[in-house]
Every structure is written in C-alpha cells, then in structure tokens.
Amino acid sequence: MATLELDTVTKVYQESDDRIVAVDGISLSIDDGEFLVVVGPSGCGKSTMLRMVAGLESITDGVIRLDGQVINNVKSQDRDIAMVFQSYALYPHMTVEGNMSFGLEESTDMPDSEIASRVGDTAEMLDIAELLNRKPGELSGGQQQRVALGRAIVRDPKVFLMDEPLSNLDAKLRSQMRTELQRLQEELGVTTVYVTHDQTEAMTMGDRIAILNDGELQQVATPLEAYHEPANLFVAGFIGEPSMNFFEMEVQGDRLSGDLFDYRLSEEARETVNDVTHVTLGIRPEDVEIVADGSGDHDFNAVVDVVEPMGNENNVYLSFEADGETDLVATIDGMRSLDAGQPVVARLPESAIHLFDTESGTVLKNRSLDGREETEPRV
Amino acid sequence: MKDQPDDTKDQPDDASNRDTIGSGGFVSRLRSLDRGRVGLYLALLAMVGFYLTPIETGLVTSLKTNQAVIETAPYAPPGPSGFTLEKWQTAIDQLLRGMGNSMLYAVPATAISAFFGSLAAYGLTVADWSKRYKAPLLALFVAGIFIPYQAVLVPLSQFWGQYVQLGQNLGFVWALGIDNDYAGIIELVTTHVAYGIPICTILFRSYYKTLSTEMIESARLDGASLRRVYRRIVLPLSTPMFAVVLIYQFTQIWNDLLFTLVLVATESSPAAPVVLILAGLGTGMEGTDFPLRMAGAFFTALPTLAVYIAFGEEFAEGVTT
C-alpha cells in the first residue's frame, strides 16, 4: 500500500535525428488504495507511462515517487510493484503454483511453508485452487488471466499495474472479471493503476480516470465528472458512446452561427463565451430530444436517416436536410419507434450543451446538472 | 511414410483384387490412387534406395570375410560361408580405448560450448543494454563461425606448443601417473569450446529472440535479478535448443579429425581419439582391409547415432522454432 506520484514525467525516444515524445510532462498523484484508470486511444503513451512506473522504461525527465521516495533509479526488481500484462506472460514451464510462488521466492526470504500457504490462500480467493498443479498451457484464457492476477496479488506489492489485462477475454468473461477485479481491489486496498482503451472499463472500474492523448494528460477526474464536465474537446469526444455531437460555430452577438443551423444563447451562456469568436457546440446524444413539432429557439427540423435499435434504446441518426449526411446522433427510448425518412424536430436544450473554444479545445461552458435526476453515464 | 505400404502393394493390383479375404476398403483405396501419386511414391522410393545403398553396402561388407569381399558384389549380402563377425570383434578391440578418449573431450566440449553459447546469447538478447554495443559483438560472433579450421592450424599448434605448454604446466597431474599425452585432450576440449561458441551463440540467439519479452519483464518485476531470470526462466525454457546444439556440436566434435591430428598426432598415443585410430585401421602393406574399415566406421558412428536418438524429440521441437 502506497501513494504514487508522477511529477512532470517525460519520455522521449531519440532515434537518430527523430525526437518522438511518447509521454509529455505528466503529473499525477494517486492516493493510497486508489484505483486509477488510465484511458486513451492507442499510441497515446499510456502503456509507456505504466512501464516507466514499473521501471521497464527509463525516464527521460521528471520524477516518480513511491511513498515519497524517488524511484527513478531503482531497478524493477527492487520496486515492489506487480504488473499484470495483456498477454498474461505466465512462465510456461512452471505449474500454476510455481508461477504464483516465483515472486515470493525471488523477492522475499519467506520460508517455503509460508509461501505455500499464501499461494494456497490466494488461489482459494481467485477460485483456482484446483488448478495449482497444472501448467499454463493446459488452462483456458480466463483461467490464465486469474493465474496472472494471482501472481500479482500473492506478493502483496505496494502497487498493482495492469496493462489491458482483460482485453484478451471474450465479452461475457470480461464483464465478469471487471466486477471481480473491482471487488478484489476494494478488498485488498492496494493502489492500482489500470491502463485500458476500453470505455466501459474506464467508466465503471476506477475511482478516478486519467485521460491521455498524444502523451499529454487531458483530464483527471471521477468518471462522472469526466463525462459531464469534460475539460476539453478531446475528453468530451472520447468519453461516451455514441460520442458527443459537435458543431463548429461562429459567435455573432448572442447567436452562434453554423453551417447547419443557428443557435441562440441566453445571456448567462453568452457570458461564458466572452470574446472567443469560434466555438464548438457539443451535446450528448441522450440529451437531444426528439419532439413531434416545435418552433422554439432550440428546435430544428431534421429527417431520420438511420435507426439503430439497441434494445433498451435506439440510436437515431438525423440529418438536417433530406438525403443529406448524418449531422446529429440522438439516443431515444427503445420502445419509441421512428422510421428512416421520417421528418422530426430535434430539440437541443440549452441546459445540456457544452461550449468549447474551437482553437484551443478548452471548455468554456459545461452542461448544467441542476435539476437532473439521471446522472448515470451512458457508455 | 504412412502411405508407403499401399505403394509397395501397388504392382500386384490384380492379385489383391482376387484376394477374397482382403478388405474392400483397401482395394478401393488402391483404385483411388492416381498416376501422379504412384509416380511420386516410386520416385521417393528410388531416392530412399539411393541414399540407403551406401550404408547397406558398408554394413554387409563389414560382415564379410576378406574372401567374400572379392567374390561377391559390394551390396550383396555374404553367403553362409562368407559371413563373419570377426571384423567387428577386431574393430571393437582396437577402437574401444579411442572411444573412451573421444568421450573424454567430446562430451565436456559439447556441454561447455552449448552452455557458454546460451549464456552469450542471453546477454545479446534478453539483457537490457544498448543495441549500439550489441551489434558489433554480434558481428564478431558471426565472423567467428566462418573461420575455417585450416586457417588456424599453425597458430593453434604454436599456441599450445609455445605459449601454453600444458605438458609442463600441469606437471602435478602427470605426477599422479596419468600419461602426459592427455594434455592433448585438454587442449582439444579448450579448442573445440572456443570454436563452438560462435555457432552455439547464434543458434541460441535466434531462439531467445522468440521468447516473450513480457514474460521476462514479468520475472524482473517479480524480483528476479538478471542471473536468476536466466537460471529459473530462460535456461529451463532452452531445452529444445539445447537438444539441437548438443546434437550438432557433439557430431561435429566427435567426427573432427583435423584438430586431433594437430593436437594429439599419433594413433599409438594412449590419449589417441577414436577418429585417429580409425584413420589407420585396416590399412597396411598387404592392402586395405575393407570389412575391418567398414566395421570400424560403423562402430565409431554409434555414439553420434545414440545422441540423435536420445535427443530426437527435443531436436524436432527445437528445429521448428
């Protein structure tokens, strides 16, 4: 158990004359026992960051502290950190028991009997006690994944690092393991950094999520904060499925003028825009209301392009002109039926819109959460 | 190979058709064999014959009396009067001590060069240090493979004859009553190890490059040092490659005549390796004793055959990786 701190950590790969910045000055601090999920598109530097914490990559610049101690120059094997890899990375020539006791044998002076009992307890906890004498090659993917987890847990390290540990499992097993991992982490209370590109995992598992793009930290927040109050355009677009609708607009007085429609702003909202001239209007699909008819400031005529029934809800792809491309995605109740080609009115309530500075991407105004009952994120 | 029985029964097709006991399945299977396949099997059979004939010839010759060698064709088996095991008896009698001497250097030289090769390959692949330094080292190892034996014969004999004179330096060993010709055995071990390390390193390197890096990293994070990772992860996983390297090196070292000629020299020496004795076996003023030479050659080849059989399964696994 420990706190983990990253202070302007940077990783630069120097290849002859090419300087590739993989991780760009990330500062983060993870509390004792916290479950932090690091999420971002592939190639955003999240794995590199994790590997620097593990000591598998050198740190170009910045400092990593574990429990207040700088560990930049501490070798991997002395960091007391356990990592679970996407490929599980089990030792194929050892039994499950051998795999799980290896770490304790190498890193501690613990007597064999105690190692055996700890391995036994952990195996019991993970429901793999009957597999202890098997080799990894004889196990299913799910079982191997449990062994990989067990190998990390049995060592009782200061920090768990997990690099997309669930992405090789099938969908059903993945959601099962997701809950189980959360339960385990809560029980053990070990500080955990969990890297994933999977939104569902990011939203549901962590205490906080850190969103990375291009090696830069975009936002660290609780999942709901990141969903409802994104710090910038990237976070707003990355979190949520289907993603937020964006429209680039020009500010003209109290109106936003775009290629597709004009949007009148209330005084309150207008103030947030200040003297920014180009803004991006964002609205989540579930906040778009589809009404039979209306002629308010925020009502727009549209035509249904495609309907994607999901069962509990329908994703409706709308277009502002007949036969045009999809301009707007809305999510409506699954029991409500709409047909392609049907003309409707899309209402974009002002309380639900986000405004971003188009140039810098920073948020100007987030949706207001007052009076909203449904605060569960949709993913 | 599984289909071969079908092929040999191919010609008497009519006979098997009339065979009332024979299963209908077999007959219909014969019918379904098209011309192309028949041709293929015949060609394969011819090749098998081509490669096996010399071995068969050698084997039957080794069982003939000198008289029978003159009277029968080389590949024909000896008649009852021309058959003898006497040549094998003589060959074994004369070669047995050489066999022991050969074992004395071939086994340690094989094991040591394989182990060193594996260690060096581990350092060149798994160990984490700059590629800039790894590449020139690797180039040196590769170059080492291509140095021909003949090119080093003179420096080699000078090295052992003038600079490192084991015959004198190891005086205390010879004082124990061991013939000081055995210095040649130690020289052979050292020379073969030095010569074998490059090829062993390259073979192990190609194998270690296929090991999962995440697995190695996982072991490092589990607290294992570089040395412990080798000992507990990499070495146990190297078994198939060890089989390949052991078979290759053992055969190479066992069969080598050039270094033994330079370093041990005479077949009359008590430390003479089997290849040295074999070279002179069955040759004399009265002409070449072919059966004796054949018997000697087969007897000498037995250990290499034994190694192939012993490590065959791992070998197959090793060459496929």
- Answer yes or no: do A214 and A305 share one domain: no
Query: Three-state DSSP class for A332?
Result: strand
Query: Three-state DSSP class for A347?
Result: strand
- Answer yes or no: do A23 and A81 share one domain: yes
- Answer yes or no: do A26 and A134 share one domain: yes
- Answer yes or no: do A130 and A269 share one domain: no
**What was the pLDDT predicted at B3?**
43
Inform me whether the pLDDT recorded for B17 exceeds 50. Answer: no
Domain boundaries, chain B: 4-71, 86-320
Closest chain B C-alpha to A303 CA, distance in angstroms? 52
Closest chain A C-alpha to B319 CA, distance in angstroms? 19
Among residues A206, A233, A260, which one ends one of the domains?
A233
* Total-model pTM: 0.80
- Answer yes or no: do A82 and A161 share one domain: yes
The domain that contains A316 carries what CATH number?
A: 2.40.50.140
**Average pLDDT rounded to a whole number, residues B206-211:** 92
Is the distance from CB of A6 to CB of A38 less than 8 angstroms?
Answer: no
Residues 160-219 of B with CB under 8 A from A: 212, 214-215, 217-219
**What was the pLDDT predicted at A274?**
82
Give A91's contacts (C-beta < 8 A, 6+ positions apart).
A98, A99, A102, A136, B215, B218, B219, B233
Residues of chain A positioned with their CB less than 8 A from the CB of B242: none
> What parts of chain A have a pLDDT lower than 70?
1, 370-379
**Average pLDDT rounded to a whole number, residues B47-68:** 91
ipTM of the predicted structure? 0.84
**What was the pLDDT predicted at A377?**
53
Which residue in the set B218, B223, B224 is minimally distant from A89, CB to CB?
B218
Share of chain B above pLDDT 70, in %: 90
**What was the pLDDT predicted at A156?**
92
CA distance A132 to A14: 44
A374 inside domain: no
Residues of chain A positioned with their CB less than 8 A from the CB of B317: none
**What was the pLDDT predicted at B25?**
67
Which residue in the set B214, B224, B237 is minimally distant from A89, CB to CB?
B214
Provide the domain limits for residue A257.
244-365
CA distance B164 to A265: 95
- Answer yes or no: do A199 and A86 share one domain: yes
- Answer yes or no: do A170 and A259 share one domain: no
**What was the pLDDT predicted at B5?**
45
Inform me whether the pLDDT recorded for B7 exceeds 50. Answer: no
Instruction: Mark yes or no for CB contact B233/A91 under 8 Å.
Output: yes
How many independent structural domains does chain A possess?
2
Instruction: Mark yes or no for CB contact A56/B219 under 8 Å.
Output: no
Is the distance from CB of A44 to CB of A212 less than 8 angstroms?
Answer: yes
CA distance B81 to A164: 79
Is the distance from CB of B145 to CB of B225 less than 8 angstroms?
Answer: no
The domain that contains A111 carries what CATH number?
A: 3.40.50.300
Residues of chain A positioned with their CB less than 8 A from the CB of B218: 83, 85, 89, 91, 151
CA distance A88 to B214: 8
Q: How open is the CA angle A73-A77-A83, to the nearest 5 degrees? A: 105
φ, ψ of residue A195 to 5 degrees: the values are -100, 135
How does pLDDT run across A81-139, given as a tens digit for each residue? 999 999 999 999 999 999 999 999 999 999 999 999 999 999 999 999 999 999 999 99
**Average pLDDT rounded to a whole number, residues B247-266:** 90
Which position has the higher pLDDT, B170 or B304?
B304
- Answer yes or no: do A80 and A187 share one domain: yes
> Number of A:B CB contacts under 8 A?
63
Residues of chain B positioned with their CB less than 8 A from the CB of A155: 222
Residues 24-83 of B with CB under 8 A from A: none
Confidence of residue B321 (pLDDT cuts 50, 70, 90): low
Instruction: Mark yes or no for CB contact A106/B223 under 8 Å.
Output: yes
- Answer yes or no: do A112 and A184 share one domain: yes
- Exposure string of B178-212, with b = 16+ CB inside 10 Å and e = fewer, is eebbbbbbbbbbbbbbbbbbbbbbbbbbebbeebb
A371 inside domain: no
- Answer yes or no: do A258 and A216 share one domain: no
Q: Measured between CB atoms, does B222 come within 8 Å of chain A? A: yes
A339 inside domain: yes
Please state, in angstroms and as integers, the Cα–Cα distance from residue B110 to each residue in B114, B234, B253, following that order: 6, 19, 7
Tokens of A84: 């679970």
Tokens of A299: 């009502």
Which residue in the set B214, B225, B232 is minimally distant from A77, CB to CB?
B225
- Answer yes or no: do A145 and A222 share one domain: yes
Break chain B down into helix, strand, coil percent, rounded to 5.
Answer: 75, 0, 25
Q: Which residues pair with A195 in a beta bridge?
A: A38, A163
Instruction: Mark yes or no for CB contact B221/A77 under 8 Å.
Output: yes
Is the distance from CB of B117 to CB of B203 less than 8 angstroms?
Answer: yes
CA distance A324 to B120: 66
CATH superfamily of B86-320: MetI-like (1.10.3720.10)
Confidence of residue B129 (pLDDT cuts 50, 70, 90): confident
Closest chain B C-alpha to A163 CA, distance in angstroms? 11
- Answer yes or no: do A198 and A269 share one domain: no
- Name the range with the highest mean pLDDT among A19-23, A185-189, B107-111, B145-149: B107-111
